[in-house]
Structure 1
Amino acid sequence: MDVITLAGRSPQASDAGAPRLRGRYRLQELIGRGGAGSVYRAHDESLGRDVAVKVFEASATSEKDVRRQEDEVNLLAGLSHHSLVTLLDAGVDRTDAARPRVYFVMELVTGADLKVQLEGGPLTARQTAQIGFDLAEGLQYIHHRGVVHRDVKPANILLVRYSHGGARYRAKLTDFGIALVGAIERRDTDNVTTGTAAYLSPEQARGQTLGSASDIYSLGLVLLECFTRTIAFPGDPIPSALGRLRSDPHIPPGITPEWSALLAAMTSRDPKDRPSIDDLVVAFRQMIAAETGRHRDVVAHPEPSTEESRLRAVARYRLPEAPVDGAFDRVTAIAARVFSVPIALVTIVDHDRIWFTSHHGLEIDHIDRHPGLCASAILDDVPWVVEDARFDPRTLANPLVAGDFGLQFYAGVPLRTRDGHNLGTLCVFDFEPRLASEAELATLSDLAAMVMSEMELRLQSRRSKTALESAPPAPS
């Protein structure tokens, strides 16, 4: 539903002469139109409040359409979440027996939809993270109830500010007219895939079975548009739908590495490579914190990094202590998939050990520092790549290469702090020689930035907790 907000009332009719549904809801101005129905601002004369009323056109009264409308009523009636538009009432108006009108009564959300908002300019990264968090929470709620929305797009995202002059948008997802209960979707009988072409997931464009990952892909396109104000796959429905089957959406280089990595994961063509909705909620919560503190705790003139100062930085982040919630495990799993390798690690280089705080495909959790390739990878600020270790003079004597382990390929990116210290690496291993493309190394760098963002977030959280605990008690 393309919902818009109008500045004033429509001159079509006065309140006295405006049509009423079932003698209760007096329709006022049209505020949106799309699909099979229209949305009006209306006044509930029983409770004395303004509401939004979605009325389906006469052409939408076939048995199939009525059944779908009843499904939407039953679906919405059972959902209650702050990120979803609330259904208040529903029914059929039979004032004109030849033209019954199905209608839904919903809360009236004051504010523009995201489509209109983006026409006025791009959003900040912090605003985008906040909107992403709201929508991810809403999708998490419906996905856990077996519901797939199938039409996540800017026009179906309503924005509201709860304080005058505040920059915080709260996002609400609306229009469940084509939502799917049971997380299974097949093509309609007329062989047309349901949804909006520009925001379809690849599996939606193919008419395949849908699950939570489909909405996650669409949300990724929406959030990318928040940065670019450009539809990733524009054009007529068929070329637009086919575009995402051939290529990934273009993510401009001006977007930060953390955002680039997250958006790329959300819009992966393979649903299995997309983050789960639960992980996405956590990621956006972290993004909000990172964007809020992005310009804090930055040293204007960082000291030259020495081994002594680097080890102090390792201690500052309480490393090599690994996050007990496995926060880095998804990053290493993605890195392994990107390179198609069996092993990916997040490593911390201590004074005498190399610790594996996440070790995808490997059981051990540390090795001695001397033979470790990661000890060499932290010496520079660029990726350190060994494409064939059997013939690379840097690695010929390395026990991981010459010994039973049989390492033949290594690529590592340093985990660099804001004040210029390399703590360790995000790296991948293989037992066969291979090349590393620029695109793969760029993705590895983006994932390393996500690891550092998580480390910074945890550091800030510990500092805030310490400050709160050490603050003097409030006077009684």
Structure 2
Amino acid sequence: MTVSPQYPDGALLGGRYRLENMIGAGSMGTVHRARDEFLDRNVAVKLVRSGASTPEEQQQIDVEAKVLARLNHHSLVTLLDAGTHLRTGDRTSGSAEEHQVYLVMELVSGPDLRRRLQDGPLHPRNVAQLGYDLAVGLDYMHGEGVVHRDVKPANIMLFDYRGDDTRLRAKLTDFGVALIARDPQPQSGTFTGTAAYMSPEQARGDAVGPESDIYSLGLVLLQCLTGVSAYPGPALESAVARLLRPPAIPQSVEEGFRVLLRAMTALEPQDRPSAHEASLALYELAVAPRSRHRRSLPLIPADEAERLAAVRSYNLLDTPPDGAFDRITALAARLFSVPVAIVSVVDTDRIWFKSAHGTDVGEIGRDPGLCASAILQNDAWVVSDARVDPRTLANPLVAGEFGLQFYAGVPLQSRDGYNLGTLCILDREPREFTESEVRTLKDLAAIVMNDLELRLDGQRALVS
């Protein structure tokens, strides 16, 4: 079998990657099974079609390819290497030298999502699980300054799929390839990305950012739930359709998904959630179905054992409310004009209110408490309208008699970086929370933590 006229079977790239047969092809290049002769292992090599026309552009592509090869995340198919193969031109034809960009990836044997969707839609919990994996992968990529630009089922690999009761895992592949390829902006009916999943800004030919990936992921998740593409048809018709109407989300899709997908597929990029926000919402959707049959699982930080040890060192558990913080919670309630303000500490299975303004409750279970979600963040956690926010739709404080509609919490972080609890404010009306107000809430939380640190220092001084 011939790989390509330029790269036949057996061609050697980078002095170590021996090409074998072609196993995939797309608008951005071809993928080949290959043998890493240095490490004696099988790999996949993607030959990227490059639009570089000058040495300077080629040099920039080389730099970007190496940046991609340094990305390392469990939700991304591992990139092992990247390089440029210089192919000498044909003297008889007068062709110039050619710089061939190639990416070396782990060779994945599992199915892609496109193939899986041929069997029909996925169970909602599986959709939330794979969506969470993809969102955290995009969050990592976006933090590294990389935009995928072609999120679609064919670029999503599935692992360990055995049925509705098994954790479905997913990985993104082909990330950053469109950028390296210098894929042209739409002209005369041609588009970047894949028409059925492109964002409105891609369809318009505008510059794209992380928000474009969120839109595409929203369309992928919608197809996973319904089994059909939201924008089928020829490329031009499909691309233009999203400029005229939002994707149809059936009423049969559960409300949490409907709210999230409407936000992810908003026409304007600034109206979409970030990848991090989407991952939190998808996590909530992934665990919500379990609570119908048994007690819902609390949100547990990865360093929970160490965090709880830090909480105990401050002597904060199983102790009565602390009057020293009453002025802080009262001040917070006045400053933000909210009925409830709380200094909380998150224990193994409950949340202790060390000081509470506007409520007589001294503790609640950890599961319904939003502070359990807030301590997972290293920044303020704000829910402007809990009635429509997918992170809180199923929360009993929102759906029950309390009628919570607004929450803002700042973690109380120890010197060692452990989140002990929060300073939070609550309201029964939705509201916007400005950056200035976030800073003020953080300042008040810092005062609480400063007092706790002084107490801890005093206790240690007495012991010594």
The interval holding the TM-score normalised by the smaller chain is 0.5 to 0.7
Whether 2:245 is the aligned partner of 1:247: answer yes
Change (3 A) 1:290 1:179: farther
Which amino acid in structure 2 is aligned with residue 171 of structure 1?
A
Partner AA of 1:204 in structure 2: Q
Aligned to 2:265: 267
Q: What amino acid sits opposite 1:261 in the alignment? A: V
Contact 2:48 2:177 in 1 (8 A): no
By how many angstroms is 1:153 displaced?
A: 0.9
Measured after TM superposition, the shift of residue 78 of structure 1 is 2.7
Aligned partners of 2:187, 2:63: CA distance in 1, in Å? 19
Q: Does 1:83 pair with 2:81?
A: no
C-alpha separation in 1, matches of 2:165 and 2:388: 37
Q: How many angstroms apart in 2 are the aligned matches of 1:51 and 1:186?
A: 25
Query: How far did residue 295 of structure 1 move?
Result: 3.4
TM score, norm. by length of structure 1:
0.58
User: In the alignment, is the contact (CA less than 8 A) between 1:130 and 1:168 conserved in 2?
Assistant: yes
Deviation for aligned residue 1:115: 1.0
CA deviation string 1:369-393 (max 9, x = no partner): xxxxxxxxxxxxxxxxxxxxxxxxx
* Alignment CA distance shift 1:316-1:121 (3 Å): farther
Aligned length: 324
Q: How much is the aligned-residue C-alpha RMSD, in angstroms?
A: 4.2
Shift of 1:116: 1.3
Instruction: Tell me which residue corresponds to 1:53.
Output: 45
Q: Percent identity?
A: 43
Q: How far 1:95 sits from its partner (Å)? A: 6.0
SS in 1 for 2:385: helix
The residue type equivalent to 1:54 in the other structure is: K
Residue in 1 that maps onto 2:195: 197
**Structure 1 residue 213: Cα displacement:** 1.7
- C-alpha spacing 1:162/1:89, structure 2 compared with 1 (3 Å): farther
Quote how far apart the aligned CAs of 1:47 are. 1.0
Distance 1:138 1:359, change over 3 A: closer
TM-score by length of 2: 0.59
1:323 is aligned with what amino acid?
L
Look up the match of 1:177.
177
Q: Distance in 2 between matches of 1:75 and 1:241?
A: 30
1:376-387 alignment, distance < 5 Å: none
What is the rounded CA distance, in whole Å, between the counterparts of 1:155 and 1:85 in structure 2? 13
Secondary structure of the residue aligned to 1:331 is: coil
- The correspondence of residues 149-164 of structure 1 with structure 2, limited to 5 A, is 149-161=148-160
- Could you tell me which of 357, 378, 383 is aligned with 1:329? 383
What is the DSSP-based 3-state SS (H/G/I as helix, E as strand, rest coil) of the residue aligned with 1:146?
coil
Deviations 1:252-281 (A, max 9, x none): 222111111111121121223222222112
**Between 254-263 and 163-172, the greater mean CA deviation after superposition:** 163-172
Give, as a single letter, the amino acid of the residue that structure 1 aligns with 2:259: A
Q: Partner of 2:139 in structure 1?
A: 140
Task: Summarize the alignment of residues 268-283 of structure 1 with structure 2, pairs less than 5 Å apart.
Answer: 268-283=266-281
Letter in structure 2 aligned against 1:252: P
CA distance in 2: counterparts of 1:187 and 1:91, whole angstroms: 22
Name the structure 2 match of 1:419: none
The answer for the alignment partner of 2:314 in structure 1 is none
Paired residue type of 1:268: A
Structure 2, unmatched stretches of 5+, are 91-96, 297-360, 375-379, 390-396, 409-424, 432-464
Superposed counterparts of 1:61-460, under 5 Å: 62-63=53-54, 66=58, 69-70=61-62, 72-94=64-86, 97-98=89-90, 100=98, 101-161=100-160, 167-175=166-174, 176-179=176-179, 188=185, 193-296=191-294, 323-324=370-371, 325=374, 329-332=383-386, 349=401, 356=404, 358=406
Residue type at the aligned position of 1:49: R
Change (3 A) 1:87 1:239: same
After superposition, the Cα gap between the structure-2 partners of 1:236 and 1:66, relative to the gap in structure 1 and judged at 3 Å, is farther
Which whole-Å CA distance do the structure 2 matches of 1:356 and 1:54 have between them?
51
Distance (whole Å) between structure 2 residues aligned to residue 116 and residue 239 of structure 1: 24
User: What runs of 5+ residues in structure 1 fail to find an aligned partner?
Assistant: 1-9, 299-313, 336-344, 367-425, 430-476
Give the SS at the match of 1:148.
coil
**What does the per-residue CA deviation read over 1:92-117, in whole Å, with 9 as the maximum and x for residues that have no partner?**
34465437443221111221111111
CA contact (8 A) 1:131 1:171 kept: yes
Post-superposition shift, 1:135? 0.7
